[in-house]
Structure 1
Amino acid sequence: MQKKILIIDDDIGLCELLSEYLVSEGFLVDTVQDGARGAERAMTEDYSFVVLDVMLPGLNGFEVLSRIRRSSNVAVVMLTARGEEVDRIVGLEMGADDYLPKPFNPRELVARLRAVQRRMQQEPQGGDAAPARLCVGDVELDFGTRTVRASGEPVELTSLEFSVLEALARSAGRVLSREELTRQALGRPFNAFDRSIDVHVSSIRKKLGPLPGGMERIKSVRGIGYLYSHSAQPH
């Protein structure tokens, strides 16, 4: 089945360029140049991906993302101005699945979309014998529905946050480097200037809260990466 993409960007030339390239890669593409209309379409129509520019007239990209996240977990890749790290961090914190700094090669966008798609479709390895769920302390990951519960309560994570948590949970009890975490969860090589993993871990911490005893469940290991402190128990 072809994947539908909604591009929300006021640059008509860029929309045409991306549309032509994405269609050639097998995607179905719609474009909108207005933030409010883009948010409405993203929330009411069945899209697999939204490509969202930060710098939109009127309703900016962050406001559009906020509206989308109120009712939809559609995968969102944000387009940010090169060098504007704060935009990337804010977008990720608000629930974007990934970002690309402008200008970019359309092939890179397709690579990011494919990586998000793989994360969303990822199934446990090992065939029929693979566990459908993974419990790490009071946290339970359901791979069939890609949902998470903490102490029995549902926790809303983005697709990318789920992948980051999954990688940490599968390696619970040992340190996972930023390089490993980036490769496993984001599906791309690690870049020392990319703070995406740190932002996602921070967001996951906030959403899950501390351990029942009050200790932090995901520990930072200075200069290396992160450690999930509980042992994993497959179900």
Structure 2
Amino acid sequence: MSNNTVLIIDDDVELTQLISQYLSTNGLTVFAYHDGSNINQQLELHKPDVIILDLMLPAIDGLTICKNIRSSFNGAIIMLTALGDDIDEVTGLEVGADDYLAKPVKPRVLLAHIRAQIRRQSTLQQTVVESCIQCFEGRIKLDAGNRSVLMDEQVISLSSAEFDLLWLLAQKVGHIVKREALHEAIFRLPYDGIDRSIDLRISRIRKKLSDDPKVPSIIKTVRNVGYQLAT
């Protein structure tokens, strides 16, 4: 865990200091800023594995930052908010956030989520047996080596978490994968029966694949069970 770097962007100075100290004590390398106006330079300088990103920031808000960096940043993004409104969670996940926590957040809870994201990335990278998988009658091609997705030979831009989710379904192509199994593989945490993160990611992937959400033909919903990727 000592080699993992966390970048915190939050304008709450007291909270940031508390979290930074706690994460550092637990073996993480932490860099903290109070706005994201120089986010690209911060990413280049520190090369973080995880970004803790506050929703409400001066100059440029967290959602905009997340949207702007998602295509180029392959690490995990955990968003924080004090608003406690479901629409903010939906919006955050739609622009590519990997996880979402409401303030006030306990440092030990945040640490658990950070570690879960790091384990998710590490585990998925280490357990790839096949480098390429084709599905949907060969129209969709996933390459685990460069984490790319092609549909009809056109590049589909997915976030790191979206690719991981689609890859999990592709490894079981044609078979139903339970929502609980997907949640535990992605977050490395037990599914509580309420969390909508997997459903929101599926919705976003469908949109990018032009899969009709009302009658999906690529990623099918098995009611009250999970999802199935078409062969």
TM range (shorter): 0.7 to 0.9
Is 1:166 aligned to residue 162 of structure 2? no
Give the C-alpha shift of residue 12 in structure 1.
0.7
Give the C-alpha shift of residue 226 in structure 1.
1.4
Q: How many angstroms apart in 2 are the aligned matches of 1:80 and 1:193?
A: 19
Matches within 5 A, 1:109-148: 109-121=110-122, 122-123=124-125, 125=127, 130-137=129-136, 138-148=139-149
Instruction: Report if aligned partners of 2:71, 2:158 keep a CA contact under 8 Å in 1.
Output: no
**RMSD after superposition:** 2.3
Q: Give unpaired runs (5+ residues) of structure 2.
A: none
SS in 1 for 2:11: coil
Q: How many angstroms apart in 2 are the aligned matches of 1:124 and 1:209?
A: 30
Letter of the structure 2 residue corresponding to residue 136 of structure 1? C
Runs of 4+ in 1 over 4 A off after TM superposition: none
Matches within 5 A, 1:69-148: 69=70, 71-81=72-82, 83-121=84-122, 122-123=124-125, 125=127, 130-137=129-136, 138-148=139-149
**Counterpart position of 1:233:** none
Give the C-alpha shift of residue 119 in structure 1.
2.8
Q: How many angstroms apart in 2 are the aligned matches of 1:90 and 1:52?
A: 14
Letter of the structure 2 residue corresponding to residue 112 of structure 1? H
Q: How many angstroms apart in 1 are the aligned matches of 2:90 and 2:116?
A: 19
Letter of the structure 1 residue corresponding to residue 53 of structure 2? L
Give the C-alpha shift of residue 107 in structure 1.
2.2
Letter of the structure 1 residue corresponding to residue 56 of structure 2? M
Q: Deviations over 1:192-216 (max 9, x none)?
A: 33111111001111112239xx962
Deviates more, 1:75-84 or 1:7-16: 75-84
TM-score w.r.t. the length of structure 1 is 0.85
Query: Across the two proteins, how many residue pairs are aligned to each other?
Result: 224
Deviates more, 1:159-168 or 1:108-117: 108-117
Is 1:198 aligned to residue 199 of structure 2? yes
Give the C-alpha shift of residue 13 in structure 1.
0.9
SS in 1 for 2:37: helix
Instruction: Report if aligned partners of 1:82, 1:103 keep a CA contact under 8 Å in 2.
Output: no
Letter of the structure 2 residue corresponding to residue 220 of structure 1? T
- Rate the CA distance shift 1:115–1:139 in 2: closer, same or farther, 3 A: farther
Give the C-alpha shift of residue 69 in structure 1.
2.6
Q: How many angstroms apart in 1 are the aligned matches of 2:127 and 2:6?
A: 28
SS in 2 for 1:176: strand
**Counterpart position of 2:177:** 176
Instruction: Report if aligned partners of 1:219, 1:226 keep a CA contact under 8 Å in 2.
Output: yes
Q: How many angstroms apart in 2 are the aligned matches of 1:148 and 1:155?
A: 5
Q: How many angstroms apart in 1 are the aligned matches of 2:109 and 2:3?
A: 19
Deviates more, 1:16-25 or 1:148-157: 148-157
Q: Deviations over 1:7-50 (max 9, x none)?
A: 0001111111111111122221111112323x243443322221
- Rate the CA distance shift 1:146–1:117 in 2: closer, same or farther, 3 A: farther
Letter of the structure 2 residue corresponding to residue 44 of structure 1? E
Instruction: Report if aligned partners of 2:11, 2:34 keep a CA contact under 8 Å in 1.
Output: yes
Instruction: Report if aligned partners of 2:71, 2:157 keep a CA contact under 8 Å in 1.
Output: no
Q: How many angstroms apart in 1 are the aligned matches of 2:199 and 2:42?
A: 28
- Rate the CA distance shift 1:227–1:113 in 2: closer, same or farther, 3 A: same
Q: How many angstroms apart in 1 are the aligned matches of 2:4 and 2:125?
A: 19
- Rate the CA distance shift 1:64–1:228 in 2: closer, same or farther, 3 A: same
Letter of the structure 2 residue corresponding to residue 41 of structure 1? Q
Q: How many angstroms apart in 2 are the aligned matches of 1:171 and 1:204?
A: 17
Letter of the structure 2 residue corresponding to residue 135 of structure 1? Q
Instruction: Report if aligned partners of 2:71, 2:159 keep a CA contact under 8 Å in 1.
Output: no
Q: Give unpaired runs (5+ residues) of structure 1.
A: 231-235
Is 1:53 aligned to residue 54 of structure 2? yes
Q: How many angstroms apart in 2 are the aligned matches of 1:58 and 1:176?
A: 42
